[in-house]
Amino acid sequence: MSVTKHTAALKPRERDAARSKLKTLPRLIMVTDRIRVPDVIGAIKALPSDSAVLFRDYDMPHRLELGREIRDLCRRRKFRFIMAGHGRFAAQIRADGLHTPETCIQEARFWRQWRPKWFITVAAHSPAALWQAARAGADAALLSPVFSTNSHPRTKPLGALNFARIAFQAPLPVYAFGGINKHTLIRLTGAPICGIAAVSAFSSV
């Protein structure tokens, strides 16, 4: 896989590494997108160990059915299966965790109480959102967009330097998300992040 060999260069902050002894954080999160990566099953089978799958595809017909298929595959591969959206769907599908959009960060607080073993991540686009996520009890944040991305072409990217600065000051572990591929990932070498999240990086799998 094109991006995985570069993840070894990532150097999480000491406090993130210490936290991972209590709850191991995956180095790579594959974010599903049936348009950009139609062969989601094949992509998951090609993932390396220490990965997780974030099942997004909010408006997909028969979403729960495909979610269960992906969940079962993740169980066999020993990957965390994270459900994006509302926590009740994650609970219904027996996911390993929940991912909430930035506008719903406070849901993390509720589900942390009711599902203490879940791996809970949130979407964040600013330092303020990172602090909200930490106070809500999230395990990590997907900070985006780091680089230009086709999914949000009109959104100004943070850029490598600004992203690294924000990640260094973040009160919780941070994943780089948005425009991540084997070329842009090199620009994050040494950045204070616990891992990366990506979509199109798996389109050639």
User: Looking at domain 4-202, which of 3.20.20.70, 3.40.50.620, 3.40.50.1820, 2.40.50.100 is its CATH number?
Assistant: 3.20.20.70
| pLDDT of 3 higher than 70 | no
What pLDDT was estimated at residue 205? 43
The closest of 165, 159, 167, 168 to 187, measured between CA atoms, is 159
pLDDT band at 40 (very low <50, low <70, confident <90, very high): very high
- Beta partners for 183? none
The closest of 101, 157, 151 to 129, measured between CA atoms, is 101
In the three-class reduction of DSSP (H, G, I as helix; E, B as strand; rest coil), residue 52 is classed as: strand
Return all residues near 96 (Cβ < 8 A) that are at least 6 apart: 52, 74, 80, 81, 82, 118, 119
pLDDT band at 10 (very low <50, low <70, confident <90, very high): low
* Percent of the chain residues past pLDDT 70, beyond the cut: 87
pLDDT band at 7 (very low <50, low <70, confident <90, very high): low
| pLDDT of 21 higher than 60 | no
What pLDDT was estimated at residue 73? 98
Segments in 28-119 forming alpha helices (H): 40-45, 63-77, 87-92, 107-114
In the three-class reduction of DSSP (H, G, I as helix; E, B as strand; rest coil), residue 97 is classed as: strand
The closest of 137, 195, 138, 147 to 167, measured between CA atoms, is 195
| pLDDT of 55 higher than 70 | yes
What pLDDT was estimated at residue 175? 97
pLDDT tens digits for range 57-93: 888 888 889 999 999 999 999 999 999 999 999 999 9
Cα–Cα dist 34/39, whole Å: 7
Provide the whole-model pTM. Answer: 0.90
167 touches 193 (CB < 8 A): yes
Listed by start position, the domains of the chain span: 4-202
